[in-house]
Chain A
Amino acid sequence: MLALLELREITKVYSHGGNPFAPRREAVKAVDAVSLSLAQGKTLGLVGESGCGKSTLAKIILKLVNSNGGTVWFDGRDIGALPEKEFRPLRKEIQIVFQDPAGSLSPRLRVRDIIAEPLEAFGVGRKERGARIKELMAQVGLPEEYLSRLPLQLSGGERQRVGIARALATSPKLLVLDEAVSSLDLSTQAQILNLLVFLQRTYGLTYLFIAHNLSVVRYISDEIAVMYLGVIVEKGPAASVFDNPAHPYTRLLLSSIPGLPDRRGKKNNPVPGSAEPVRGEHGCCFYAACPAAREQCRLARPVMREVEKEHWASCPVGSEGKE
Chain B
Amino acid sequence: MINLLRNKLTLSGAIIIVLMSFFAVFAPVICHYQPDDIDIGNYLLAPSATHWLGTDLLGRDLFSRMVYGARISLSVGLVSIGIAVVIGIFFGALAGYYGGVIDTLVMRFVDIMLCFPSIFLILALVALLEPNIMVIMAVIGLTGWMGIARLIRAEILSLKERDFVSAARACGVSDITIIARHLVPNAIGPVIVSATLGVAAAILVESSLSFLGIGVQPPTPSWGNILMDAKSSLGVAWWMTLFPGLAIFITVLGYNLLGEGLRDTLMPRA
Give chain A's interface residues, CB within 8 Å of chain B.
59, 62, 64, 88, 91-92, 94-96, 98-100, 103-109, 117-118, 120-122, 163, 166, 169-170
A163–B168 CA distance with the chains assembled, in angstroms: 11
Q: Which residue of A lies closest to B177 (CB)?
A: A121
Judging by beta carbons under 8 Å apart, are B171 and A91 in contact?
A: yes
- 12 example contacts (A-B, Cβ-Cβ < 8 A) are as follows A88-B172, A96-B166, A98-B167, A103-B162, A104-B162, A104-B163, A106-B168, A108-B185, A109-B181, A117-B171, A120-B173, A169-B171
Q: Which residue of B lies closest to A103 (CB)?
A: B163
Residues of chain B lying within 8 A (CB to CB) of residue A94: 170
Tell me whether chain B's interface is mostly helix, strand or loop, or mixed.
Answer: helix
> B167 → chain A, closest Cβ, in Å?
5
> B252 → chain A, closest Cβ, in Å?
31
A99–B174 CA distance with the chains assembled, in angstroms: 23
Judging by beta carbons under 8 Å apart, are A118 and B172 in contact?
A: yes
> A176 → chain B, closest Cβ, in Å?
9
| A88, A99, A103, A106, most chain B CB atoms within 10 A | A106
| B162, B167, B174, B185, most chain A CB atoms within 10 A | B167
Q: Which residue of B lies closest to A59 (CB)?
A: B166
**Quick check: is B186 within 8 A (CB to CB) of the other chain?**
yes
A88–B171 CA distance with the chains assembled, in angstroms: 9
Judging by beta carbons under 8 Å apart, are B163 and A100 in contact?
A: yes
Q: Which residue of A lies closest to B171 (CB)?
A: A118
A64–B165 CA distance with the chains assembled, in angstroms: 10
Given A104-B166, A118-B171; 9 other pairs, CB 8 A cutoff: A103-B162, A104-B162, A104-B163, A106-B164, A106-B168, A106-B181, A107-B186, A122-B172, A163-B167
Residues of chain A lying within 8 A (CB to CB) of residue B169: 64
Judging by beta carbons under 8 Å apart, are A106 and B166 in contact?
A: no
> A87 → chain B, closest Cβ, in Å?
9
Judging by beta carbons under 8 Å apart, are B170 and A121 in contact?
A: no
Residues of chain B lying within 8 A (CB to CB) of residue A120: 173
